[in-house]
Structure 1
Amino acid sequence: MDVSRARRARLPLAAFAAGACVVALAGGRSSSGGDTGAPERSTQAAAPLVSNELQDDYQAVIRNVLPSVVQIEAGDSLGSGVAYDGNGHIVTNAHVIGQEKTFKVTAATGGQPVTARLVSSYPEQDLAVIKLDSVPQGLRPARFGNSATVDMGQIVLAMGSPLGLSGSVTQGIVSATGRTVSEGRTDGGTGATIANMVQTSAAINPGNSGGALVNLDSEVIGIPTLAATDPELGGGAAAGIGFAIPASTVRTIAGQIIRNGRVTDSGRAALNITGRTVLDDDYRPAGVAVVEAPADGAAGKAGLKPGDVITRLGATDITTITSLSEALASMTPGEKVTVTYVRGTTTREAEVTLGEL
């Protein structure tokens, strides 16, 4: 699957918001089959009542969470962010801030822009933290939810600045969890491979990146980051397929940046190599050639050398550098895994104790 970032208004991205309709029926016929006269009146009253309750839930979430969402101007790019704490720290996507160091930040609820400065960016997980020079009145920290409780079918709202429309809200459901998605490097993309992403049908449009994906308990369960594109449509949008970085990852990365000024423990497994995709005689991707394998790295310690071609990691076939990254994203540092590789004309195996990204 191809994915594109949801940052700039000129990106060919689209998604749709899947409607949620709840209907409750009250009353019914008696066991004897006689009509009590109540069902018609009760049904007519119940459907609007439930609909109004759902509408009230939506509006309560918007009132609770929108004051935690901001719009970020980074050079000629526009994105969104979420207030992480009461000290002016804002978490967003690394691809939103790009190479910029200072930013103009406007609260989704309005007011004058405030200058913010980069604390640190972590492109490997497409996350970054910036800090406001002063905290606007009314801006309040978001409440982050428990990623373990996010499940398919849950109603969610996406809040941000799609196409520069500050404070916009779309709705949908959680379509899937546990997705591993790789981001391209074009148009400023980080090339990150991100595990455990939340897939959603809520619209993720250019400018939504870095904003908030929230549940009906007013908890941020993810940071909207990517929208799928369809290669058969020339890279056009694949409607209703967006991805958000889970709250657990956001807390881990942002917390380290705020405490230490950088990420000190990624929690991500690595072979500690530099590699490139190689092609077979039919010009099809056929593995990852090791370009560098430091002796003190995971692969180097297991005996892999420059020139070796990795074709399998555990039970997963490896054909490209992206497939290798995605396979590693599901593993943990210290885990032992069998690496199958080709040296010259000989296929070999090595047990590797994975290092850290």
Structure 2
Amino acid sequence: MRNRSTPTRRQFLVAGTMVGTTALAGCSAFSSGNSEKPTLSDFRGSSPLVQDRPDPGGTSIDDLPDLSGTLTLYIGGGEGGLYQQLANLLQQYYDDFSVNVRFSAANQVLTEGKNGQVRADVFWANDAGSLGVVDDAGLTASLSSKITKQVPNRFHTNTWVGVGGRARAIPYNTKQFSKSDIPDTISEFTDTSNLDAKMGWAPTYPAFQTFVTAMRILQGEQKTKAWLKGMKNRGKGGMEQYKDEWFVSNAVADGDIGAGIANHYYAVRVISSRQDAPLDIAFTKGDAGALVDVAGAEVMKGTDKPDLANNFVRHLLSAEAQEFLATWSFAYPMIDGVKPVEQLPPLSKLHPPDLDLTKLANVQPTIDLLRQTGVLD
């Protein structure tokens, strides 16, 4: 199995375009020098995929209590830059509100908790597993029902709430396949008679390891091991390995592979930057391949600003904030009034497995399994 961690020239140029676009956005709408109150256009992304969207529904920021005071926000996960941009927009919206942002993983929060020195008022994590680890340590406070009632039950507890969803998906090359060619379950991909294609994955990437963790919980270690071996040894040279799922999706668009395994938004980001790319996504049903994980937020138990912290989390579920997450990161919004980009089916049409998302934090057995099967070195 080759590790396709080095980008092609075309992928490098596309990546540079995406980074450049984000950087330019950060220098305009998100600049600290912009004294005007942000409008919906500032919250909405600039991708060609989000043009002509209807105004979002749900509760507007204007209908929420004002944010006032200084909030310490810990952000964990790979989307931290975008999350900080949203926090900056909210800071610009209110004259008397400021945010101190620290990029910190759950382990740092746990370390501070053991020392009795948690400095954060709110922890905003990229996945439910990290939220669960902090919650299990007894470091979180109950959220107001005004917050949690807006989100489907599977995407919140009484101490954390999802603010943006990401679905596991199958990006595929439309010159090679149609959507009807893509199997309905992840287990079918080990048999090349179900999809006669070279495929790609990113086993070192955290999202992939979370997905395998879900499979291990749902189907047990032995069936998961068999699936990993079957995928590794499938026909046409097995699986191509990439360093992350954005590269997987680009490889599908380039025709280097016929299909892959990735979070949905990586393929959407490729489509956004390469609109003529022969790329689409399909979703499996009811198994780990259909997992929908969430980024979410929780209020820290030790905060001396519980009202401000709860109000901030409530703002993350406002119409404007959900529009930001749907159109900048292409996440699935968590409230009914905001739609995903039109390239995606609504969240209600997906078929995720019945799974406690907080259990996904325990990835070490998954890493051990990936090494046992030779998927990881």
TM range (shorter): under 0.3
Bigger helix share: 2
Scaled by the length of structure 1, the TM-score of the pair is 0.22
The structure that has the greater radius of gyration is 1
More relative contact order in 1 or in 2 (CA 8 Å, sep 6+)? 2
Scaled by the length of structure 2, the TM-score of the pair is 0.21
Bigger strand share: 1
